[in-house]
Amino acid sequence: MRAPLPILLALALIPGACQVCPPATKALVLAPNFQNAELAGQSFFAAMSCDDAGAEYRCLGEPLKDRYGATLDLYLLARPQIREDIGTTAGQAWRLKPLRMEQAEPGTLIWWGIGAREIVGLVMLPQYFYDVTESDGRRTGSILEQSPDALLQLEGRHLILDLADPALRSLGRNPDISDFHLGTEWKIADFRSPEE
């Protein structure tokens, strides 16, 4: 994965303090929140602060991963260089606060910084998904190409879901479904530097 060097260098300018991951930050790493763009950004910076590569990777959206061909393996290989570029202040990324939000191609751009100084921009996109859990605990799910509202129709008192996905074949003819979840998570689609 190609590291956005201007962003990484900008993050290195975050004023330092002790390298301890605060309890609230650690809690956000253990239970990231992708309900909206701002919380998803906070989850990414919390993971960076707590040096949790897997949690950082979960914050990246599918379009970003596709663009760079970034599997978790490749991210892990590139990560030491990324953290070196950021410097010892990567542990302080939790201190970044959202300063302003604007619409940008292809989504919502949130500028993060310290005080009034913008350090990094995260382009955030909603990512749609579904999960099916069978009574025996097996799970099937996938990322959706379109918003869930495009898949739903209301006919009288019935809400009909028109979902065509090859992954559903694994359910068999008469699955015993114990849980179904259709949702939206906000993920990082791109990085911006204040100089762009």
Residue 43: how many CB atoms within 10 A of its CB? 25
pTM across the whole model:
0.79
pLDDT at 2: 46
CB 79 within 8 A of CB 54: no
CB 118 within 8 A of CB 99: yes
Rounded Cα gap, residues 27 and 168, in angstroms = 34
Tokens, residue 87: 């410097």
Straight-line distance from the first to the last Cα atom of the chain, in angstroms, rounded to the nearest whole number: 20
> What residues of the chain score a pLDDT lower than 50?
1-3, 5-6, 8-9, 12-18, 85-88
pLDDT at 74: 86
pLDDT at 59: 94
CB 111 within 8 A of CB 100: yes
Angle at 107 between CA 97 and CA 46, to 5 degrees: 30
Angle at 91 between CA 37 and CA 46, to 5 degrees: 25
pLDDT at 82: 62
